[in-house]
Chains A and B, each alone.
Chain A
Amino acid sequence: MKYSPKLIEENVNVTPTHPLKEFFLLLGALIGILVVVYFSLGAAVEWAIGSLTWEMEKKLSSTLLPSLEFLLDSTEDSESLKKITDELSQQISENPFSYQVILSDSSEFNAIALPGGNIVVFRGLYEKTKSENEIAFVLGHELGHFYHRDHLRGLGRGLVLWFLTATLFGGDSSISSLSSDLLLNVERKHSQSQETAADLFAADLLFKRYGHTEGAFQFMQNMIDQEEEESFFPYFSTHPQPKKRLEALEEHIREQGYPTTP
């Protein structure tokens, strides 16, 4: 056997693809899939919300949020909050929901609507409100969220999509934190239109119960003051800027012809 050396020019061991082409192709496919999943999730969430009855929601929330029970207290303040909420909710036609109002001791300036008809008002906000009309606006705003089923939407898409990217890339990778950041931004835009809708709902309730909407303006002023106090304020990440909300409110109240003072 004679050995005759031969130089092999073509490299069979490496797949001949151009890396940039491959990169954009795969990336495009991935983004395309995520977009499709996002929108179909959105449709699925809307359908699910439509079919979720009040009884089911109550049952779900009692398993998901067991810890709220200990926050319930029967101080004079929380009793009066409950009373205001009940009176307001009576103004809502077709209202199958029953509500609990919890006054939390946190000094945060916030109020949230949690599944199951739970409204949590934080002391930080409660103590800054100056009139019954104003706190009624806050409660009415949360009632608006329940009526529009916003509290369920917030959980829907963002959480599932974050979960998807976390599974694919690992929870601590920069891609999944990026996707959760991006989603938070998109969900924020959603939240902002939901918030304005809740504001207008609260204004309607105020008028039906009290005959005027002074509390709405008092609260908006409170928020503008709050915004000036602190600059990086978590409240404003999910709520639109107070000025924008004020504009939307003023326009709606003007259109409806609600009195702005008692």
Chain B
Amino acid sequence: MEFVEILFEFVNVIILLLLATLGYFSGTILEKRHYRSILKREKNFLKIPAVSLEKVISPEMKVEKSDLVCGSAVISLDYFKRILAGLRKIFGGSIGAYESLIDRARREAVLRMKEQDPQADMIINIRIETFPIGQNTRRGVGSVEAIAYGTAIHLKK
């Protein structure tokens, strides 16, 4: 009877570990895949500069058309990262889990913003904002949203 009791108590831990393992593997795979996609698309979009300058750079550049473009992305933490962030909260230091989360969300948002107008010559006055999504559970942020918006400029050729 005693063994069953102990086993019962450890079921909680076992479930935690299973979820964490699942989260680790699926999260790592998804993250690597996402970063590959991001790098590929960033390479393609190198020709469209996205700058936070308010004005077009030089007076020779005549603007033919301008549009508001906006891209947003919501990325979620996996269970393993949640636990890792929880441990970090006790000891302090940079939380790599959140960092990669926000980085991916930001870059994805900028890419989607560019994808809204792939013919543009440049996107000026871009702003990027991030928000936590979902309730602040006891383990902190669940997912994060990033919005990138700016003015897509078509120059006279």
Contacts and interface: CB of A to CB of B under 8 A. Distances in A.
B49 A13 contact: no
What's the interface size class on B, roughly?
35 or more
A257 interface: no
A6 B81 CA distance: 32
Interface in A1-42: 1, 3, 5-7, 11, 13-15, 17, 19-20, 22-23, 26-27, 29-30
Interface string A166-188: 00111011100110011001000
A231 interface: yes
Interface string A62-105: 00000000000000000000000000000000000000000000
A232 B134 CA distance: 41
A14 B96 contact: yes
Contact of A181 (B9, B24, B88, B138): B9
A178 B13 contact: yes
Interface string B1-33: 100011001001100100000001000100000
Contacts of A17: 96
B83 A23 contact: yes
Contacts of B103: 11, 13-14
Given A26-B87, A173-B138, A5 B46 contact: yes
Contacts of B46: 5-7
Interface residues of A, number: 33
A185 B9 contact: yes
Nearest to B42: A7
A19 B84 contact: yes
B136 interface: no
Contacts of B138: 169-170, 172-173
24 contacts: A1-B57, A3-B57, A5-B49, A7-B43, A13-B102, A14-B99, A15-B94, A15-B96, A19-B81, A20-B24, A22-B84, A23-B84, A26-B90, A26-B91, A29-B91, A30-B90, A30-B91, A170-B138, A172-B138, A174-B12, A174-B16, A181-B12, A185-B6, A236-B1
Given A26-B88, A30-B87, A185-B9, 14 more contacts: A5-B46, A6-B46, A7-B39, A14-B96, A14-B99, A19-B97, A23-B83, A26-B87, A26-B91, A168-B90, A169-B138, A173-B138, A177-B12, A237-B5
